[in-house]
Structures are given as structure tokens and as C-alpha cells.
A and B are shown apart, each in its own frame.
Chain A
Amino acid sequence: MKIWAIAGITFKEAKRDRILYLLFFFAAVSISATRILAILTVGDRVKIIKDVGLASISIFGVLMAVLIGTSLVYKEIDKKTILTLLSKPLRRAEFILGKFLGLVLTLFVMTVGMGLIFLAVVYLHTSRIEWPLLVAIAYVFLELVLITAVAILFSSFSTPILSSIFSLAFYLIGHISWGLNLLIKKMHAGAGKAAARFLYVFLPDLENFNFRTEAVHGLPIPSSIFLYSILYGVCYTAFILALAILVFRRRDFI
């Protein structure tokens, strides 16, 4: 109940943020512009539309999660609304989870909006709804949920600018860490391999949520990978939120 009250107020606050609408506008322009890009392309135009459209949803979704997520908790501390909230019978963990859920709800609405525009553009070319695209969007959303948790973790102890840099760094590392996995497979057993494996466990692998290539090219995906990605997303998000709660619980609000 208390978590939902915080989530509700967070949703209300986030939807008043002009950055959100600005990013949504650019996302819509970017998705719609895939039609023009397709005209200029040699080859399968529909694949270009799908590829660029899905990438736009992912990139603008991440920017929304980072730019809004990193300021939400900080604003509460900066404007001292946190003093009123935490003097009530509200646990600090409930506050963090409420903030997280409120932003996840905001991103869900935005992802649905961007997804609908994208599906409409694809529908204009193919005259059918392609379900694999919906699956790819769902996994982009799962990635956004994790990025939201990361943004909230950083904003619980840092300024919005630093938090944004850290969160974007997390996103970039998350999309190149799969290279480490390839390296592990080619390395000989020993201390180096153990160290690389240890590093890989802690570094995020956001490619687990990337089903865009499969969705665009109509490639089959084994259900075990689907389930693994969901489990990975849920566990990593829970881990990051636990860290955020741990940091927030020890803070003094001067």
C-alpha cells in the first residue's frame, strides 16, 4: 500500500517531466523516419525499418530511464520532501521500491507508446502484426527495468549528472561484456580464466535482452534462452535494488 502510494506519486511526477515528452517525440520521429531510411536503402526495406525501429525504442527508452531515474531520488533529497516522507511509518526500502515501481510504470507506458508507433509503421509495409517484434520489445522493456534500478542505485548517493554518466557506462559495458564471455571460452584453464569468469559474473550482460536480430530476421529462439533472460533480468534487478536499499538505509539526511 505504502509502496504503491510512492509509486503513484513518482508516476505523477515523472509524467510531468518535459524531458520525457521530448525523448518520446524524438523516438516517434526516429521510428517514423525509418520509412525514409528504407527508401534510401538497397535490399530488404522492411528489415531496415524493423532494425532501426527496435534500436530507437531501446536507445530512447534507456535515455528516459537514465535521465528521469537519476533525478527522481536526488530531487526528493535536494528539495527535502524526503524529510516529510521518512518521518512517517515508511521504511527506506519501501521508498526505494516505490520510486522504482513508479518509474517502471512510466517506462511501461512510454514503451507501449513507442511500440505502437513502431508496429503501425511496420504494419503499413507488411499489412500484418509480427509477434516476434512484440517479444523483442518486451525484452527491451526488461532491459529498461534493469537500467531503472541502476539509475536509482546511483541517484541514492550521487548527483544526477554523475549518476547519468555511471548509468550510461553501465549500459555500454552491458552491451560489450559478451565479448568477455567469448574470451572465457577461448582461454586456457587457470587463474586468468577464473578472474575473467568472476568479472563476467559481476558485469552486466545486457545482450541477454537483445532479441532484435532474431525478431528482424525471423530466426528461431529456444524457449530456454527466453526463460534464462527473464531469470537473469529479475535476479540482476533484485541485486541492484538490494544494493540501492543498502546504500539508502545508511544515509543521513542532513
Chain B
Amino acid sequence: MADAIRIESLRKSFRLGFIPKTTEILKGITFSVSEGEVFGYLGPNGAGKTTTIKCLLGLVFPDAGSIEIFGHPHLSARARQSLGFLPENPYFYDYLTASEFLAFTADLFGLGRREKDGRIDRLLKLVGLERAAGLPLRKFSRGMLQRAGLAQALINDPKLVVLDEPLGGMDPLGRKEIRDIIVRFKQEGKTVLFTSHILQDIEMICDHVAIIVGGRVVKQGALQDLVSEKVLFTEMTVAGVPPDAFRGLGESLSVQGDRVLLKIVEERRVDAVLSLVREKNGRVVSLSPRTETLEDIFVETVTGR
């Protein structure tokens, strides 16, 4: 599959402060995103995620390295025409209504009146803002602003959608809706690059991820390759057996009434615990093996533990 984004050896420093001091933010970032995939770009605060995205969008000029979008230089008109962007904490002209704002962004792509009207109606429906179309943006909640931002990012029907923290500050329902929209992008063949701190969401929808720490990509690859299916430990809730009975078999994490939550590290000990429960006429309330998650990988990569 062709590359939607190819970033090679990207470097960027800023001179910040009253007495300017050079700080190197990106120290040779290299990664690529294939067409049609959902790519998660992860990293702790200050790792350089937003700076990478700003370089990609031409908002910040890199000191060195190259960026291509669908094989074109990232600043070319063709590259720009093919992408949509939702910034982190979007703020738009709050005196405009959602429809007026979308009409304005459509004008920046030179869309004709009929095409523009059709797209605005469709997008407002897609992001669930059709009822708020005539409201000024200053009356929008944070979640509604995020949706309006998503709609403006899609006004040109882009092949590549770049989302900077699209799930930040949203309630669980809103997060699910945005996730569903991203999944729909994938079904439509769009490429999505997004950053997020909410790793469960990334795990649910991403094909590939890259983890950036201190301005360097320290880990990248297909999600299924990074996250092994090896069982790390098993969590078991048992009722009717005193916690002391499990000494040597598992770690008692909590006790509530006659229920004990156990963490069992070795698989063979799970069978031993089950036998013990049967023997003591107890009851297994729940049993869940915990496989490695993206969060484990992230914590391990970032902290080195």
C-alpha cells in the first residue's frame, strides 16, 4: 500500500524564553503511515506530538528532514487539498453559527455553492449537530465544538484526516461517537493520523501506532505485533473462602464481605486455586485473564520499566 504520510529524520528546535534558549523538540522523527490505516501517535506531554503534526501541516518549519503527503511535498497545494485537520482544544470564530463556519471553511477550498450546501448538511448530520446548525459557536459546549471542528476538518472530503487529541475532554458518550466516526473514516478508505492520551481508545481503533518520547520515535509497528496475547496474570474473585487459604497461590488484592479478589501470576496456580475453591465449597464469581495492553507497552516504553 502506498504511503499517505512519510516523515524522515525530522528535526525542530525552538528558541524560547526572555533570554532565548534553544530547545530541541524533535530529534530525528521517522515514520510512515500507509493509505487507509488508522495511525495512533502516542507520547507523554511535551514529547513532540503536536510539533510533529504542526510540521506536517506547515504551521511550523522543520530545521531538517522531509515530509511527504501522498508522495507530494507537504507544503504543496495538492498535499493541502487532500487533508483535513482538527486541532487540540479547537477555538473558532464564536460569533458564527456552525453552518456559517462550515461555509467559510468550504470557501477556503473553493467549493461551489451547491456542493458546499450539500456537504454542510451532510457533515452537520454526521457529527450530530443538525439541530444546532443555526446556533452561534459561543453557545456550544466543549463536546459540540469538537464535533464542529471535526465537521470543518471533513469539509473537503479529505483522503487524510489529522486529529490532535480528538477525544480530550469529552464525556464517554461523546468519545464513543467520535470513535465510531473514525472507524467510519477507515471503512470509507480514509487515512487517519491521531494523537491521544486515552490509550484504550487507541487500542480499539488503531491499526498502527508510534510512541514518541523526548522527540524520538522509540517504538512503532502494527498494534497486533506490539501487543502480545501472552497472559500476564489472572484476576479471580472468589466467595465463601477465607483469604488466608490462598497464601502461596495468589495475591489477595481486596476483600469485600466474603468475596476475595485475587491476582494469580502463574497459569498452573489458577487450577490449584480452582481446586481449593471446590474443596472448601466456595464459589468462583469471576475469572479474567489479563493480557498485555497498549498501556503496559506505553508505560514500559516511556518509563523504561
Verify if A191 is at the interface (C-beta below 8 Å from B). no
How many residues on A have C-beta within 8 angstroms of the other chain's C-beta atoms? 25
Please give the distance in Å from A87's CB to the nearest CB on chain B.
Answer: 4
Supposing A81-B91, A89-B81 touch, asked if A2 and B57 sit within 8 A by C-beta, the answer is: no
Contact string against A for B residues 183-199, beta-carbon threshold 8 Å, 1 for contact and 0 otherwise = 00000000000000000
Residues of A within 8 A of B156 (CB): 88
Contact of A88 among B60, B109, B149 (CB under 8 A): B109
Asked if A88 and B90 sit within 8 Å, CB to CB, the answer is no
Asked if A87 and B57 sit within 8 Å, CB to CB, the answer is yes
Please give the distance in Å from B76's CB to the nearest CB on chain A.
Answer: 9
Supposing A9-B93, A252-B61, A253-B59 touch, asked if A89 and B87 sit within 8 A by C-beta, the answer is: no
Most interface-central of A83, A87, A90 (chain B CB within 10 A): A87
Residues of B within 8 A of A169 (CB): none
Asked if B60 and A84 sit within 8 Å, CB to CB, the answer is no
A254 to B51, CA, bound (A): 8
Most interface-central of A12, A89, A90 (chain B CB within 10 A): A89
Verify if A1 is at the interface (C-beta below 8 Å from B). yes
Asked if B95 and A90 sit within 8 Å, CB to CB, the answer is no
Contact string against B for A residues 236-254, beta-carbon threshold 8 Å, 1 for contact and 0 otherwise = 0000000000000010111
- For B84, give the chain A residue with the smallest CB separation: A87
A254 to B58, CA, bound (A): 11
Contact of A254 among B60, B83, B107 (CB under 8 A): B60
Please give the distance in Å from B190's CB to the nearest CB on chain A.
Answer: 16
Please give the distance in Å from A97's CB to the nearest CB on chain B.
Answer: 14
Verify if B108 is at the interface (C-beta below 8 Å from A). yes
A1 to B93, CA, bound (A): 19
- For B56, give the chain A residue with the smallest CB separation: A87
Asked if B59 and A88 sit within 8 Å, CB to CB, the answer is no
10 additional A-B residue pairs with CB within 8 Å, beyond A5-B104, A89-B109: A9-B104, A12-B93, A12-B96, A84-B87, A87-B58, A87-B59, A87-B80, A87-B85, A252-B54, A254-B60
Residues of A that sit less than 8 Å from B by CB: 1-2, 4-5, 8-9, 12-13, 16, 79-90, 250, 252-254
12 A-B pairs, CB-CB below 8 angstroms? Answer: A1-B110, A5-B104, A5-B107, A5-B108, A8-B104, A12-B93, A80-B89, A87-B80, A89-B81, A252-B61, A253-B59, A253-B60
